[in-house]
Structure 1
Amino acid sequence: MPKAPRKTPEGRRGSRSGDERAALLRRLAELEEREAHARHIVQMAGVSIWEEDFSGVQELLLELRRQGVGDVRAWCATHPDFVHEAMGRVRVVSVNDATLRMVGASSQEELLGSVERIFLPESVRVFIEQLVALAEGRPFLQAESVVRTLEGRRLEVLSTFSWDAVVGRADRVLVTLMDIGERKAAERALQESEARFRNMADHAPVMMWMTDPEGGCTYLNRQWYAFTGQTEETGLGFGWLSAVHPEDAAPVKAVFVDANARRAPFQLDYRLRRVDGEYRWAIDAAAPRFGPGGEFLGYIGSVIDITERRRREELQRFLAEAGTALASSLEYGTTLSTLARLAVPTLADWCMVDLLEEDGSVRRVEVVSADPSEALLAEQLRRFPARPDGNPHHPPSLVILQGRPVLLPELPTGRFSTLAHDEEHARTIAATRPVSLMSVPLLARGRTLGALTFFTTARSGRRYGAVELEAAEDLGRRAALAVDNARLYRDAQRAVRLRDEFLSIASHELKTPLTPLVLKLRVLARELEARCEPVLSRRLLGHLEVSRRQVKRLSELVDGLLDVSHLSAGRLRIEREVVDLSALVREVAARFQEESERSGSPLRMEADGPVVGQWDRQRLEQAVSNLLSNALKYGGGHPVSIRVEDIGEWARLVVRDEGIGIEPDVLPRIFHKFERGVSERHYGGLGLGLYVTQQVLQAMGGTISAESTPGHGATFTVDLPLAPAPEAL
């Protein structure tokens, strides 16, 4: 069997060398495969990828370093030729297909070599940044730039530069270009939209603001800064809260934070400091903003100064309250004092009321201060009312003289002598520290009754304007009407008292001769019957009967006047006793029998039995007589029915006639004093009978009512308690 060849050391070494070559070949194949795969990926990528040779550029940078140049950016700024030379040393090694499509090249050969063909002047800035990054040893740079296609079209691109991207070749640079034209266009459109919004917002008549999702303010329009005096540095973020009144800031922030957490719209009122330091009421309304995907972007809101509106609403409420106070009393002194206290502090820090008396003098009826500690000063001001013969520039005096309002939005500090009657008056005015004043006349029926004067002080710092003056004039008109009505009522009451006094005296004086006249007529009738022949006696007795009826009628009228005077003076007395209403009505009806026959209206009475109660017999007879007299007078020759009945604890009397009736517009007034249901030309009388009847019945705890249809008569119903109420005993 042949022997196998013996391995020699050289043979073993030859075998290892073969293995190493094989491994190296496999490694090279893998690298080539990976490089091919990488190049395939590069070619298939949708982003422009360049491989550039920067070795020439590196040589220039090394030369600068040898020359001691440390600031490459500054060197490039002062040596543009160096930049141009460096740009010319950049060599394009390869590009992918996306690059060819981007720049409009048909093949790589069109781009290989210099990159100057696609560079624009705007590209130089980014190239300088590349040089700086290379000099500083930074391996990566990203920047926005502009390039141009081979057709000359501009492209906005995002460029990235990576050094050492190719293994072992430090002088090579991998560049990517991403077309960001659409994104930049969208950004510009957004910026233009925002610029338009800001322009509109800055010219809007209201304050506007915007926030980010966290609630920080990112925008305040020009009106906000003009109103508050803030700047962007002091207003953005949460700085705007410093312009809110200290008492409102915490609640406002709490509402805003809560709404921001819930992404909900909100609206709230608060006081906002104006640039002059005055706090003004504002309404802040806002709505959340959401992006296309529903993401919360923050809020947009508006702020409107509503001080004038709130002031008008407040003044309207004040005027309504003042109107109620003015209508609550006819004692105008008390009413005006109440009015002055209502005006402070709603309308003023001080209020003064001057009234013009009938003798031409002026009386200061009230002085009110918002500060109770100034009571002594208020008493001093009482000593200086308006004086028509005093300083004509004194506002209340001027108002009373001319009947026109005076408005002084700003009072001259320290120059109150021009407004005062004398130096003492000027010192008193100065002590109140007034800053703004208005005085309005009390005008009624073309006459000036006085003046209302209001002024604010340094304590509140408020200034009067057209809104306040309008409210003050309205208040002056209402107050004047109240004063005029009160004076008219006072004069009317005085006239009524004089009338009642006259009626009382006149009725007593008239009653005095009537009593002996009645007696004389009776004596004369007896003498005629005894001494005269029958024919003459009958004729004369007829004349005497007419006289007797007229005297009786006159006596009834005088009795009515006496009753009215007693009622007005509160001297009507009720003497109660047990009375049978049925029997009393029969007695009264019997006395009216002759009148019933004369008028052609028969009396028909219905009563089931006695109806007994505790009443004043004489007054009850008077009431029944008045009702029967009216029924016969207006019955028109038709029957008059009378019904008496017991209805439990009450007695009821119903008197009905079938005559002319009462008109509906007159019916509610027939129980009033001196009121009549018909013309006195045809029926006579003073219009007191039903008034006295009602007053008498009410004094006994009863009531009376009337129902009527014109042309079909009238029905009067009287209800009387059978027993008096305990307090009437």
Structure 2
Amino acid sequence: MPKAPRKSPEGRRGARSGDERAALLRRLAELEEREAHARHIVQTVGVSIWEEDFSGVQELLRELWRQGERDVRAWCAAHPEFVLEAVRRVRVVGVNDAALRMVGASSQQELLGSLERIFLPESLEVFVEQMVALDEGCSFIQAESVVRALDGRRMEVLFTFTWDAVVGRADRVLVTLMDIGERKAAERALQESEARFRNMADHAPVMMWMTDPRGGCTYLNRQWYEFTGQTEQTGLGFGWLKALHPEDAVSVEAVFVEANARRAPFQLDYRLRRADGEYRWAIDAAAPRFGPGGEFLGYIGSVIDITERRRREELQRFLAEAGTALASSLDYATTLATLARLAVPTLADWCMVDLLEEDGSVRRMEVTAAEPSEAPLAERLRRFPARLDGNPHHPPTQAILEGRPVLLPEMPPERLSSHAHDEEHARAIAATGPISLLSVPLLTRGRTLGALTFITTVRSGRHYGAVELEAAEDLARRAALSVDNARLYRDAQRAVRLRDEFLSIASHELKTPLTPLMLKLRVLTRELESRLEPTLGQRLLGHLEVCRRQVKRLSELVDGLLDVSHLSAGRLRIEREAVDLSELVREVAASFQPEAERSGCPLRLEAEGPVVGQWDRLRLEQVVSHLLSNALKYGAGHPVSIRVQAEGVQARLVVRDEGIGIEPDVLPRIFHKFERGVSERHYGGLGLGLYVTQQVLHAMGGTISAESTPGHGATFTVELPLAPPAPEAP
């Protein structure tokens, strides 16, 4: 069998070369496939990709290095023409389809070569950063800039610049551009909206704030900073709590944290420190914020200074309380003392009341201080009332003289002497430590009665303004009315006393001649009956009877005046004894029988039996006589009925006539002093009978009432306890 020929070394090498060639071809095919795949990706990806030749730029940078320039950024800032030359040296060598679509090109040829067609001057700053990165050896930078589309549109883009991205070409740069116009527009809209909100918030008449979901404050408007004196550094986060009154901060924080955990709205009041150090009451109201997806974003809230509102509410409550105190008494000295105590400390730390006397002098009625320990100083100030002949700039004096309020919001120590009568007075005022003063006149019916003066000190730190002035004037009007009413009441009481004294004296003086006159008429009647012939005697006796009735009527009127004077003076005496009311009414009715016959009003008495009680017999006769006299006077010729009965522990007397009656509008007043149910021109009288009757019955524990229908008569009902009432406890 022939042996196979042996392969020569050259043959073996040829076989290996063929295998390597095949492997190389396969490798090349894979690379081409990958390159085609990469190019496909580059072409189809939505990001604009540019390949740029930066060799010209690199040459310019090397020239700088040769010149010894190392700070590229500074050089570019000093030589803008250098930057423009560098831009001109950039060559676009390739773009993808996305780049064509972005700038509106129909083919690559429109974009290859110079950047001038898409480059804008606003992009120079970004280009400088590219050269700086190239100089410093950075392989990647990202920045926002602008380019120009071929149709002239200005486009906002996000640039990325990558060196060494093109294999084997250190002078090539791969650039991507992403259109961020919509995002930037949204950002600008958001910034504009936020700017509008901040502008509105900073010009809003209230303080405003915002927090993040954790509760930290992220925004406080200008009003907050101006009001509190805080800054962003001290107010944001939870620093705003430091502007609250220490007594309020803990509770406010607890309410806020609890509401933040529940995502619930809240409202609370607290004291907020103003930039000048004064604490002011504020109301803080907040609502939670939620995003489009319902996520909790934090709170937005507003803070309003409500000090004036609270002050008005406090002063209104004070005025209501003061009004009640002023109306509770007609002793104006006591009332004004109570008023001064109420004003401190609600309205003032010191309150002084000056009143004009009838002789034109001024008396300081009251001086009240907030601190009891200042009582000695209060006594000193009593010695310095308003003086009409004193310093006209003394506030109470000025208020009385001018009839208008005096408001001193500030009282600098160096000006105190100008408001005082003398140096001693100035020292007394200074001892109070005044910082603000308000003096208002007491005006009523066109007259000035005095002045109220209010002082605040460093103790309260309050300064008077329009709110306090309004309240003080309201209080002064009420006080003046109270003082005027009290004085009118005092004068009226004095007049009543003088009248009662006159009535008492006049009644006694009138009674003195009436008694002997009545006796003389009786004697004369007896002598005429015994000595004169019948015809003349009867005629004279008729005249004497008329005289006797008129004297009796005059005596009754005088007795009524005496009773009124005794009642006014509280000297009406009741002498109790056992009295049978039925028997007493029969006796009185019998005495009125002649008068009943003359008036054509027959008397009808109905008495079931004895009705015995402990009463004053003479006074009870007075009551029955007056009721029967009225019934006969106004009975208009109709019968008059009288009924006496006992009901349990009460005795009842009812007197009814069927005469003219009493008008409904008059009926409630007929038991008042000097009130009448009919015209005095037709029926006469003083209008005292029913008043005296009621007072006598009240003194015996009884009552009297009246019912009437005009044209159908009137009914008077008397009720008396059978036993005397128990004496009142001492």
The question of a shared fold, defined as TM-score above 0.5 by the shorter chain, is answered with yes
Provide the C-alpha distance between the structure 2 equivalents of 1:543 and 1:108, rounded to a whole number of angstroms. Answer: 153
Provide the C-alpha distance between the structure 2 equivalents of 1:10 and 1:646, rounded to a whole number of angstroms. Answer: 167
Letter in 2 for 1:521: L
- Could you say if the C-alpha distance between residues 391 and 20 of structure 1 is closer, same or farther in structure 2, counting changes exceeding 3 Å? same
Structure 2 residue 481 is matched with structure 1 residue 481: yes
Provide the C-alpha distance between the structure 2 equivalents of 1:217 and 1:245, rounded to a whole number of angstroms. Answer: 18
Provide the C-alpha distance between the structure 2 equivalents of 1:486 and 1:3, rounded to a whole number of angstroms. Answer: 159
The alpha-carbon deviation at position 329 of structure 1 amounts to 0.7
Q: Which moved more, 1:446-455 or 1:396-405?
A: 396-405
The alpha-carbon deviation at position 526 of structure 1 amounts to 2.5
Whether the 8 Å contact between 1:608 and 1:645 is mirrored in structure 2 is yes
Show the counterpart of 2:185.
Answer: 185
Provide the C-alpha distance between the structure 2 equivalents of 1:256 and 1:125, rounded to a whole number of angstroms. Answer: 48
Letter in 2 for 1:418: S
The alpha-carbon deviation at position 328 of structure 1 amounts to 0.8
Show the counterpart of 1:122.
Answer: 122
Provide the C-alpha distance between the structure 1 equivalents of 2:7 and 2:660, rounded to a whole number of angstroms. Answer: 164
2:413 is paired with a residue whose SS is coil
Q: What does the per-residue CA deviation read over 1:530-573, in whole Å, with 9 as the maximum and x for residues that have no partner?
A: 22222233222222222222222222222222322332232333
2:375 is paired with a residue whose SS is helix
Structure 2 residue 505 is matched with structure 1 residue 505: yes
TM-score computed with the length of structure 2 as normaliser:
0.90
Correspondences of 1:119-268 after superposition (within 5 Å): 119-165=119-165, 172-268=172-268
Correspondences of 1:105-116 after superposition (within 5 Å): 105-116=105-116
The alpha-carbon deviation at position 197 of structure 1 amounts to 3.9
Show the counterpart of 2:385.
Answer: 385
| Identical residues among aligned pairs (%) | 86
- Could you say if the C-alpha distance between residues 294 and 530 of structure 1 is closer, same or farther in structure 2, counting changes exceeding 3 Å? same
Show the counterpart of 1:337.
Answer: 337
Letter in 2 for 1:40: H
Show the counterpart of 2:708.
Answer: 708
Show the counterpart of 1:699.
Answer: 699
Provide the C-alpha distance between the structure 2 equivalents of 1:21 and 1:678, rounded to a whole number of angstroms. Answer: 151
Whether the 8 Å contact between 1:54 and 1:171 is mirrored in structure 2 is yes
Show the counterpart of 1:454.
Answer: 454
1:152 is paired with a residue whose SS is coil
Show the counterpart of 1:568.
Answer: 568
Q: What does the per-residue CA deviation read over 1:212-260, in whole Å, with 9 as the maximum and x for residues that have no partner?
A: 4444444444444444444444444444444444444444444444444
Correspondences of 1:282-361 after superposition (within 5 Å): 282-361=282-361
Provide the C-alpha distance between the structure 1 equivalents of 2:351 and 2:158, rounded to a whole number of angstroms. Answer: 75
2:435 is paired with a residue whose SS is strand
TM-score computed with the length of structure 1 as normaliser:
0.90
Show the counterpart of 1:614.
Answer: 614
Whether the 8 Å contact between 1:414 and 1:430 is mirrored in structure 2 is no
Q: What does the per-residue CA deviation read over 1:363-420, in whole Å, with 9 as the maximum and x for residues that have no partner?
A: 1111112222211111111111112222232222233333333223333422333222
Provide the C-alpha distance between the structure 2 equivalents of 1:31 and 1:262, rounded to a whole number of angstroms. Answer: 63
Provide the C-alpha distance between the structure 1 equivalents of 2:696 and 2:507, rounded to a whole number of angstroms. Answer: 19
Show the counterpart of 1:404.
Answer: 404
What RMSD, in angstroms, separates the aligned Cα atoms of the two structures? 3.3
2:414 is paired with a residue whose SS is coil
Letter in 1 for 2:677: G
1:43 is paired with a residue whose SS is helix
Provide the C-alpha distance between the structure 2 equivalents of 1:708 and 1:25, rounded to a whole number of angstroms. Answer: 140
Provide the C-alpha distance between the structure 2 equivalents of 1:25 and 1:363, rounded to a whole number of angstroms. Answer: 128
The alpha-carbon deviation at position 488 of structure 1 amounts to 1.3
1:144 is paired with a residue whose SS is strand
Show the counterpart of 1:76.
Answer: 76
Whether the 8 Å contact between 1:579 and 1:615 is mirrored in structure 2 is yes
Letter in 1 for 2:586: R
Show the counterpart of 1:605.
Answer: 605
1:415 is paired with a residue whose SS is helix
Correspondences of 1:95-110 after superposition (within 5 Å): 95-110=95-110
The alpha-carbon deviation at position 292 of structure 1 amounts to 4.3
The alpha-carbon deviation at position 157 of structure 1 amounts to 0.4
Correspondences of 1:658-669 after superposition (within 5 Å): 658-669=658-669
Letter in 1 for 2:543: H
Letter in 2 for 1:538: Q
Show the counterpart of 1:519.
Answer: 519
Provide the C-alpha distance between the structure 2 equivalents of 1:652 and 1:18, rounded to a whole number of angstroms. Answer: 155
Show the counterpart of 1:444.
Answer: 444
Provide the C-alpha distance between the structure 2 equivalents of 1:399 and 1:376, rounded to a whole number of angstroms. Answer: 26
1:572 is paired with a residue whose SS is coil
The alpha-carbon deviation at position 209 of structure 1 amounts to 4.1
- Could you say if the C-alpha distance between residues 339 and 21 of structure 1 is closer, same or farther in structure 2, counting changes exceeding 3 Å? farther
Show the counterpart of 2:629.
Answer: 629
Whether the 8 Å contact between 1:229 and 1:275 is mirrored in structure 2 is yes
Q: What does the per-residue CA deviation read over 1:174-220, in whole Å, with 9 as the maximum and x for residues that have no partner?
A: 32211111222233333334434444444444444444444444444
Q: Which moved more, 1:689-698 or 1:715-724?
A: 715-724
Q: Which moved more, 1:648-657 or 1:240-249?
A: 240-249
Provide the C-alpha distance between the structure 2 equivalents of 1:11 and 1:695, rounded to a whole number of angstroms. Answer: 162
Letter in 2 for 1:421: H
Provide the C-alpha distance between the structure 2 equivalents of 1:272 and 1:366, rounded to a whole number of angstroms. Answer: 36
Whether the 8 Å contact between 1:432 and 1:457 is mirrored in structure 2 is yes
Whether the 8 Å contact between 1:439 and 1:451 is mirrored in structure 2 is yes
Whether the 8 Å contact between 1:163 and 1:170 is mirrored in structure 2 is yes
Provide the C-alpha distance between the structure 2 equivalents of 1:321 and 1:578, rounded to a whole number of angstroms. Answer: 52
Provide the C-alpha distance between the structure 2 equivalents of 1:723 and 1:14, rounded to a whole number of angstroms. Answer: 160
Q: Which moved more, 1:190-199 or 1:685-694?
A: 190-199
Show the counterpart of 2:639.
Answer: 639
The alpha-carbon deviation at position 601 of structure 1 amounts to 1.7
Provide the C-alpha distance between the structure 1 equivalents of 2:227 and 2:528, rounded to a whole number of angstroms. Answer: 108
Q: What does the per-residue CA deviation read over 1:62-89, in whole Å, with 9 as the maximum and x for residues that have no partner?
A: 6766776554433433454554454455
Q: Which moved more, 1:59-68 or 1:352-361?
A: 59-68
Show the counterpart of 2:418.
Answer: 418
Provide the C-alpha distance between the structure 2 equivalents of 1:337 and 1:470, rounded to a whole number of angstroms. Answer: 21
The alpha-carbon deviation at position 674 of structure 1 amounts to 1.9
Provide the C-alpha distance between the structure 2 equivalents of 1:535 and 1:23, rounded to a whole number of angstroms. Answer: 186
Structure 2 unmatched runs, 5+? none
Q: What does the per-residue CA deviation read over 1:462-515, in whole Å, with 9 as the maximum and x for residues that have no partner?
A: 332333233222222221111111111112112222222333333334334433
Provide the C-alpha distance between the structure 1 equivalents of 2:336 and 2:27, rounded to a whole number of angstroms. Answer: 113
Q: Which moved more, 1:433-442 or 1:165-174?
A: 165-174
Letter in 1 for 2:619: R
Provide the C-alpha distance between the structure 1 equivalents of 2:395 and 2:583, rounded to a whole number of angstroms. Answer: 75
Letter in 1 for 2:461: G
- Could you say if the C-alpha distance between residues 4 and 728 of structure 1 is closer, same or farther in structure 2, counting changes exceeding 3 Å? same
- Could you say if the C-alpha distance between residues 121 and 587 of structure 1 is closer, same or farther in structure 2, counting changes exceeding 3 Å? same
Provide the C-alpha distance between the structure 1 equivalents of 2:677 and 2:693, rounded to a whole number of angstroms. Answer: 15
- Could you say if the C-alpha distance between residues 137 and 512 of structure 1 is closer, same or farther in structure 2, counting changes exceeding 3 Å? same
Provide the C-alpha distance between the structure 2 equivalents of 1:214 and 1:504, rounded to a whole number of angstroms. Answer: 90
- Could you say if the C-alpha distance between residues 38 and 710 of structure 1 is closer, same or farther in structure 2, counting changes exceeding 3 Å? farther
Letter in 1 for 2:415: R
Q: Which moved more, 1:553-562 or 1:608-617?
A: 608-617
- Could you say if the C-alpha distance between residues 33 and 628 of structure 1 is closer, same or farther in structure 2, counting changes exceeding 3 Å? farther
Show the counterpart of 1:721.
Answer: 721
1:727 is paired with a residue whose SS is coil
The alpha-carbon deviation at position 52 of structure 1 amounts to 3.6
Whether the 8 Å contact between 1:407 and 1:438 is mirrored in structure 2 is yes
- Could you say if the C-alpha distance between residues 514 and 62 of structure 1 is closer, same or farther in structure 2, counting changes exceeding 3 Å? same
Whether the 8 Å contact between 1:43 and 1:97 is mirrored in structure 2 is yes
Structure 2 residue 683 is matched with structure 1 residue 680: no
Provide the C-alpha distance between the structure 2 equivalents of 1:704 and 1:14, rounded to a whole number of angstroms. Answer: 156
Structure 2 residue 422 is matched with structure 1 residue 431: no
Q: What does the per-residue CA deviation read over 1:245-287, in whole Å, with 9 as the maximum and x for residues that have no partner?
A: 4444444444444444444444444444444444444444444
